[in-house]
Amino acid sequence: MEIRLTPEEQTFRAQVRDWLHNNLPTEERPTDWRGWREFDLAWQKTQYDGGWAGIAWPKEYGGRGLTLLEQVIWFEECARVKAPHRGVTSVGINHGGPTLITRGTEEQKQFHLPKILRGDVVWCQGFSEPNAGSDLAGLTTRAEIDGDHLVVNGSKIWTSYAHMADYQELLVRTDPNAPKHKGITWVICHMDYPGIEVRPIMTMVDPEDFHFCQVFYNDVRIPIANVVGEINDGWNVANATLGFERGTGFISDQVYFAQLVEDMIEMVRDPARQAYRTADETADILGRLAVSRSEMAAIRAMTYATVSRAAKGVPGLEGSMIRLYFSEAQQKALRLAMDILGPVGLERGNMHSWTRHYLRAFASTIAAGSSDVQRNIIGERILGLPKGPKAA
């Protein structure tokens, strides 16, 4: 597949390149979470001030009103110069904001969207629960209506950035007697509401690098005006959110990862790393590298095809295909990066950035729906295959 840009798109790319050249942050992203939040919000504000935030968002909410293809060009140029990537603004930008654009009230859009784009706020996602991950519709966090408020009790888990967030996309059960997909509501929760407790969860990457939390809700009162869509229609709204998350939310990761594979090729050329390898091992690495590079090219072609089909609106189910292919190709490539890196990759104290990428990638076949769940979606909802037998 040949990807040919129009003269206008080429001019756009040149403008992006020029702006990034003059505005890229020079310092590293801090590792402590307060510094991390401040850094990501400042970078978001710089993009906003330069007119590069929300490239495909409508103009009336502070975006540029351009196409998804121009958004992809932006990501490609950011990846080329290693601009800060996948930070604390990702939930708001990638699926919180887009959900409000398609399903929110005018008041919700006017209030929240400019704040997200300007880098004033951080959003997190409160969907998963200790007993409701893949089976998201089985969630039990309860919300009872009391006058013009919902009163929420329960717990969410694996909430990325909850300890840094101002707002949350929260799914609650408002009708426990309805069929499980029917009694759910999608509501905007301010993380400062009384009764919310956030506890961090450490990961294997390293003790400082926690981005996960468990969130507890104890009689948390949320105005009904914060409901997005209708009460008890949250499953439909959540599907829009997941459509954005799985469909367009990972485009920047795909583009950035293709650049990482190019960096791996440079790493192989480093004579210091060649010293400990036999000729057979080198041949094996080169073969695997060729496969990884062609997989990245396939992902790029799939991404461009999706983007030109999706135009505007909620992305279709094919996001699950790219998500599945990408996350598995990414894990394979990062295992290869560890083989190229050699013994240095085993150091824990001063962990190498490739080791960090490698350890983080274990999560990529789980986050936003596991590979098994993506395969179910592809089989049942795209290919129309019959559902498998229910687990006992």
Ligand X SMILES: Cc1cc2nc3c(=O)[nH]c(=O)nc-3n(C[C@H](O)[C@H](O)[C@H](O)COP(=O)(O)OP(=O)(O)OC[C@H]3O[C@@H](n4cnc5c(N)ncnc54)[C@H](O)[C@@H]3O)c2cc1C
Cβ contact 24:81 at 8 Å: yes
Q: How far is the CB of 290 from ligand X (least distance, A)?
A: 29
Min dist. Cβ of residue 361 to ligand X (A)? 10
Least Å distance, CB 242 to ligand X, is: 9
Return the number of other C-beta atoms located less than 10 Å from residue 148's C-beta.
9
54: DSSP letter = S
DSSP codes joined into one string, 145-175: EETTEEEEEEEE-S-TTGGG-SEEEEEEES-
User: Of 138-146, 181-189, 253-261, 360-368, which part binds ligand X (CB under 6 A)?
Assistant: 360-368
- CA 158 centroid distance within chain: 13
Q: Is 372 in the site for ligand X (CB under 6 A)?
A: yes
Q: Identify residues 73-112 at the interface with ligand X (CB under 6 A).
A: none
- From the number of C-beta atoms within 10 Å of its C-beta (0-12, 13-18, 19+), residue 280 rates as exposed
Query: Residue 198 interacts with ligand X (CB under 6 A)?
Result: no
Among 224, 317, 363, 378, binds ligand X (CB under 6 A): 363
Question: Closest approach of Cβ 216 to ligand X, in Å?
Answer: 14
Q: How far apart are CA 12 and CA 8, in angstroms?
A: 6
DSSP reduced 3-state for 337: helix
Asked if 167 interacts with ligand X (CB under 6 A), we say no
Query: Which residue spans within 53-176 are E strands per DSSP?
Result: 123-126, 142-146, 149-156, 167-173
Measured CA to CA, the distance from residue 129 to residue 141 in angstroms comes to: 8
Count residues near ligand X (CB under 6 A): 18
- Which of 45, 278, 106 lies closest to 53, judged by CA? 45
Residue 109 or 246 having the CB closest to ligand X:
246
* Binds ligand X (CB under 6 A): choice among 325, 370, 378, 379: 370
Return the SS3 of 217: strand
C-beta closer to ligand X: residue 48 or 127: 127
Using the rule CB under 6 A, is 52 a contact of ligand X? no
Contact region with ligand X (CB under 6 A), list: 121-129, 242-250, 291-299, 319-327:
121-129
160 forms part of the interface with ligand X (CB under 6 A) = yes
Instruction: Determine how many CB atoms are found less than 10 A away from the CB of residue 287.
Output: 11
245 among known catalytic residues = yes
Select the span of 34-42, 176-184, 350-358, 368-376 touching ligand X (CB under 6 A). 368-376
Using CB under 6 A, pick the residue from 52, 74, 127, 244 that binds ligand X: 127
Q: In the set 302, 351, 366, 378, which binds ligand X (CB under 6 A)?
A: 366
Does 49 help bind ligand X (rule: CB under 6 A)?
Answer: no
| Tokens, residue 72 | 């992809």
Q: Of the two residues 348 and 390, which places its CB atom closer to ligand X in the complex? A: 390
**23 binds ligand X, rule: CB under 6 A:** no
User: For residues 126 and 229, which CB has a smaller minimum distance to ligand X in the complex?
Assistant: 126
67 lies in the binding site for ligand X (CB under 6 A): no
The CA distance from 46 to 66, in Å, is 19
Does residue 134 touch ligand X according to CB under 6 A? yes
Q: How far is CA 313 from CA 9, 84, 93, 100, 226, in A?
A: 21, 27, 15, 12, 22
Name the active-site residue from 70, 76, 245, 318.
245
Interface residues with ligand X (CB under 6 A)?
A: 124-128, 133-134, 158-160, 363, 366-367, 369-370, 372-373, 376
Positions annotated as catalytic residues are: 245
